[in-house]
Structure 1
């Protein structure tokens, strides 16, 4: 068997004009994860990463913590959906920047509704592919891993949407199960899959072993 380590990017810049950048905390989360892998003796034979900046920055920080260079395969199918476009498809009016707990809750309420509408084919968010094509891009990464890296450790750095889709797909859950799975995924979390040439199996989901200490409790974030 082989093992896939699915890592969500570190904390990005939620509420900023450009979300697609790691915050200082997001960088520290991922460096700490790399240190954890190094201390556990985990070595990666291959790596895949999406093309978004926060995903590439996360992988670079993991490599820094590992103290080992990582030469990843760039895989656009691991990119996240556009949450702004998803929300605007059901709520065209401008939203206030989510600077209070109430506004944050409203943002995620609309995101849930928007994702459900996109998955069901009721909306076509501007600039986005269909949900079916989104899923195909993600599962193609799994197909590549099974076909190419059997018996190896593979690092996959992506985002909440693709990772939750992988989890739902692996479990044979309904398509819209990814919504709640997605909204529970923490920054820099690790989900593990074992795989054979024919299938993947879920082993762990959304774990933070590198932040499992009192001094790192304040590093745990979701957005």
Structure 2
């Protein structure tokens, strides 16, 4: 059956001046995943990414690992929500937690609380509303799950992927955040689709990360 593989980008550059670029590990993760897909004979006839650099670099690495060349579609609806912009809106008057963009624990704790407020429309003047975010993610997925394609690779980000799954399962927003916080870099999530329906078929899978390489390749940010 036609399958949409929603893939989270590889490890980005957390704490750096430009987060939106893959680290050395991120490039290795992408290549390893592409190699695994090729070994399994899972070959896409449509590939896509959002507009973010880390998503584009991840897809390029996957295709190199598969030794395939395909022209990707760009769907901005696959982009991550602007967490930095949400923080600026929430803490416009100051009071932001120390280390929220450089310390992993502080960052994810702040993310959890901030997104919950955003989902309840409690943050004034956000970069986009929660409803706008969920709508664009849904529109992007619908555009990819179209007739005439069998295997779709789409590189996105943890928040957008988790929202796509949450919408499919019709779960409350809190579960979107829980899924996002456990999403591994280059994790594969599968949605099987037909013209009439869609089916959730796999979550947060990293078959290319094994006991032999997990110490280096298993990352979350």
**Change beyond 3 A, Cα 1:183–1:205:** same
Select between 171-180 and 140-149 the one with higher mean Cα deviation.
Answer: 140-149
The corresponding residue for 1:43 is 43
The corresponding residue for 2:161 is 163
Structure 2, unaligned runs of 5 or more: none
Give the alignment's TM-score, normalised by structure 2: 0.92
**Change beyond 3 A, Cα 1:124–1:75:** farther
Q: Partners of 1:149 and 1:116 in 2: how far apart?
A: 38
Please provide the CA RMSD for this pair: 1.8
Q: Partners of 1:114 and 1:123 in 2: how far apart?
A: 8
The corresponding residue for 1:59 is 59
Residues 80, 158 of structure 1: 8 Å contact kept: yes
The corresponding residue for 2:212 is 214
Q: Partners of 1:189 and 1:161 in 2: how far apart?
A: 13
Q: Partners of 1:19 and 1:99 in 2: how far apart?
A: 10
The corresponding residue for 1:144 is 143
Is residue 2:140 matched to residue 1:134?
no
Structure 1, unaligned runs of 5 or more: none
Please report how far the alpha carbon of residue 174 of structure 1 lies from its aligned counterpart in structure 2 after TM superposition.
1.1
Matches within 5 A, 1:1-223: 1-91=1-91, 92-93=94-95, 96-97=98-99, 103-124=103-124, 126=126, 128-149=127-148, 152-223=150-221
SS at match of 1:210: coil
Question: Cα deviation per residue 1:7-29 (whole Å; 9 max; x = unaligned)?
Answer: 00000000111100000000000
Residues 86, 111 of structure 1: 8 Å contact kept: no
**Change beyond 3 A, Cα 1:99–1:72:** closer
